[in-house]
Chain A
């Protein structure tokens, strides 16, 4: 009797929490490969292939940068991603400002031009650019063509991220700055930019992540230049060194830290935007109610 009741209770608990349990399992599924990459960064494989677990060693973490070709590829990737991020973030932010702030002819066309690269498979974009470079003959494939390609596919994503941030923007703060005698440029630098900074930073982070991770488009347009993903692809046939896992985990932690920083910065900007006289005058709102509005 009692076991039966306990059984039904467990059953009821399971039914009530079924969605959460399924959700939890999906989180585990999402994280399994990362755990595998981490685990195999401590592996001590005997041959060239790092596919089966042999034994624990820290030596690959100690000598993470012992492979010159890998280091070179990593430096290329970092330089490429940094440049592509700066260029695409500036260009993309300008486009987002135009789209949110201004009414003009050709708006739908501009929107279309921004959406369409995101709806095109990477292999088609890579192949089209390669066709273009082949027919032109210049510039020869290498870092320059990679930079062109990376900026191209990053722009749309920057626009989307920055635009979503601009839509909720309170323009009365800018008007106040203008009323107080700030020049248009001063208003932009002192009021607009700090407030949209989290959005810009978010767009920049996405651009950096897309660029440093890109394989397909780079595969088509790299010539003899080797980026980190291209190095991995080349190494896959002859066995990927364990150091690749180590460096992948280092990049992972760095991105995680940057993401944490971005979240913190966004909270700060939200606080900054909420310091307004009428809000200070009203009594503090209980946290629960504030969350509901």
Chain B
């Protein structure tokens, strides 16, 4: 009898905390999203028009958020793979140093990192001059453009891509890759047929961990984007904190969460389910 109580006792405080301060708030936000009236006199009346109005007013920001986050995730995957591969297979005793370098950006405040990119991409910086000279920034400006926001998102969430990729690559039995080469597979073939499929769980986990925060982000668009690059996070933030239009903001938050959930479910169906839940879902 006593033993059966133990796990619930251990789980209790955390479960209560997460239910009261995560699940219940979502319920309240749902309620808020269906209210009408002005602040102070909000009334709950199943006002579904909050959703349709918010969606039609901010559909461009929604599409933009998903496009920016998608492009940033793709670039992050392409950038992260070589480094994760190097750390897993070639680094030897440098492995820990490289892993330190990967998490090092996390040790500086997110906002300061983003502001550092504002400096790096500003009009006077050598980076901008070089890109201008080779024709990649024809107008001479990078800041306040879509690519600047995407660059910031890519950078800020890159470690979330590298670490799961590294974890799955490191788990690969090197003998499988050697076997592929022994059986006259070329380097490209053995990579495409053995290494890449075996690293799929890392790719799935990494893309999710990058895409989800990127789609909801508003810091990068705030500092690196211009008026034409606002993402849905910026809209939610300003509706909540400056304009006090809580019902619309709550509706938008719900749509954002739902869209991300749908994207995640579709993606996991498509890519295999074991990656997100780890060992236990199997």
In A73-104, which residues have CB < 8 Å from any B CB? 90-92, 94-95, 97-99, 101-104
Interface residues on B, range: 35 or more
Q: Are B253 and A123 in contact (CB-based, < 8 A)?
A: yes
Residues of B within 8 A of A132 (CB): 21, 24-25, 28-29
Q: Which of A216-238 contact B (CB under 8 A)?
A: 216, 219-220, 228-229, 232-233, 236
Contact B18 A233 (CB under 8 A): no
Contacts of B122 in A (CB 8 A): 51-52
In angstroms, Cα B10 to Cα A151, docked, is: 17
Give chain A residues whose Cβ lies under 8 Å from the Cβ of B54.
none
Q: A91-B17, A123-B218, A128-B29 are in contact. Are A213 and B106 (CB under 8 A)?
A: yes
Residue A110 CB within 8 A of the other chain:
yes
Check A113/B15 contact, CB under 8 A, given A129-B25, A236-B115.
yes
- Chain B CB count within 10 A is highest, among A127, A131, A252, for A127
Find out whether the CB atom of A259 lies under 8 angstroms from the CB atom of B100. yes
Contacting pair B28 A232 (CB below 8 A): no
Q: Tally of A-B residue pairs with Cβ under 8 A?
A: 241
Mostly, the A contact residues are: helix
23 residue pairs bridging A and B, Cβ less than 8 Å apart? A23-B90, A26-B80, A30-B105, A33-B117, A95-B15, A111-B277, A113-B23, A116-B22, A119-B261, A120-B212, A124-B254, A128-B253, A131-B25, A135-B28, A152-B18, A155-B17, A209-B107, A215-B219, A216-B233, A228-B109, A229-B109, A232-B112, A236-B115
Residues of A within 8 A of B (CB): 19-20, 22-24, 26-27, 29-34, 36-37, 40, 51-52, 90-92, 94-95, 97-99, 101-104, 110-111, 113-117, 119-125, 127-132, 134-135, 148-149, 151-152, 155-156, 159, 167, 209, 212-213, 215-216, 219-220, 228-229, 232-233, 236, 240, 244-245, 248-249, 251-252, 255-256, 259, 263
